[in-house]
Amino acid sequence: MNNSHWKFRVAIGIFCAITSSLGVAQGNSYPNRPIKIVIPFPPGNTTDIMTRMIAPKLQEAMGQAIVVENRAGASGTIGMDFVAKSKPDGYTIVASQGGNMVVLPHTSKTIPYNPIKDFAPISLSTANYLVVISNKDVPFKTVGEMIAWAKANPGKLTVGSNGEGGFPHLTFEHLAKAGDFTFTHVPYKGSAAVITDMAGGQVMLGIDGVSGPTPHIRSGLIKLLAVTNKVRVKDWPNTPAVAETLTGWDSNGWFGYSAPAGTPKEIVQRLNTEINKAMRSPEIVEQMAQYGLTVVTESPEYFAQELLKDYNKYGKLVKDIGYQAH
């Protein structure tokens, strides 16, 4: 071995040792200043509520202030992009939901981030079923009857959602494809407007998260036809799952936390550990249940796998139904 080659190998060894020790040191000293959790939606959104519930527990566990910051706009895109472009040091993370990570990237041409490449998944924190709701005067009482009516009246079934190409819209497209029927989509600027028009008879049907429609279901203003979970849920034991009509069909949403891509694994793991501990506390589990959320608390690797699986699932669905991104 010549002298120059030997010196080169020694230098490489020293460099690797130094960078490795720096990574460990960074992980061991983390955090040493406040951590910002970005909510890409307005205050009062379920993601916002969930994060503010666990923030005090995280602050106690991490020994640093947890700053919850709302950066709303463009269906969550503004906040998501801000975090994607932030320094990958564990001091800026995002609380996201499935729509921003696995649906919008396929239905919008203006999404500036790549959900797979630009983020480091931290924790898949909760899963939530959706509800199939209707105007109380529709001529059907079950999903099976709804499908039969839609087939007998092509294109006359009107379905409202909180926006073109959003998670509820794509979920109903998924349902229509499985049931082999057609419908007319009516996009709104938010879920509240869907429920208002549904109650007034301007739109027949919709799919939404459970928390918003629940008071209106209980008051009798609108009807609950089914849940999108694989099986019936304890909150609505007499309400069938869509899968009872369309075998194997389900479409659940989720909430999770992610950091910018390139965040050191030691820091991602620390955040995962503390977020999961906070989410598993009995009072948080109970509070989440009131919003129709089931605490999940899985590993970063599991979250990454689920993210990729759902991303591919909705990408295929968008292609299969011929949806044109806008």
Q: Where are the domains of the chain?
A: 31-128+253-320, 130-244
- For residue 46, what is the enclosing H or E element? helix 46-62
Contact criterion met (CB below 8 Å) for 158 and 186 = yes
DSSP count for the chain of H helices, then E strands: 12, 11
Same fold, 31-128+253-320 and 130-244: yes
Under-70 pLDDT residues of the chain: 1-28
Domain 31-128+253-320 is of which CATH architecture?
A: 3-Layer(aba) Sandwich (3.40)
pTM above 0.95, yes or no: no
Which among 262, 226, 22, 9 has a CA at the least distance from the CA of 120? 262
Q: What is the CATH number of domain 130-244?
A: 3.40.190.10
Q: Give the residue carrying structure tokens 């990408």.
A: 315
In this predicted model, what pLDDT tens digit does every residue of 223-234 receive, in sequence order? 999 999 889 988
In this predicted model, what pLDDT tens digit does every residue of 1-36 receive, in sequence order? 555 555 545 444 544 444 444 444 445 689 999 999
Instruction: Provide the strand spans (E) within the chain.
Output: 35-39, 66-70, 92-97, 119-128, 130-135, 158-161, 184-187, 205-209, 222-227, 253-260, 293-295
Residues 51 and 58: their CA atoms lie apart, in Å, by 10
pLDDT at 204: 98
Q: Give the residue carrying structure tokens 């909430």.
A: 255
Which among 292, 291, 294, 303 has a CA at the least distance from the CA of 257? 303
Q: Taking CA 102 as the corner, what is the angle to CA 182 and CA 92, rounded to the nearest 5 degrees?
A: 150
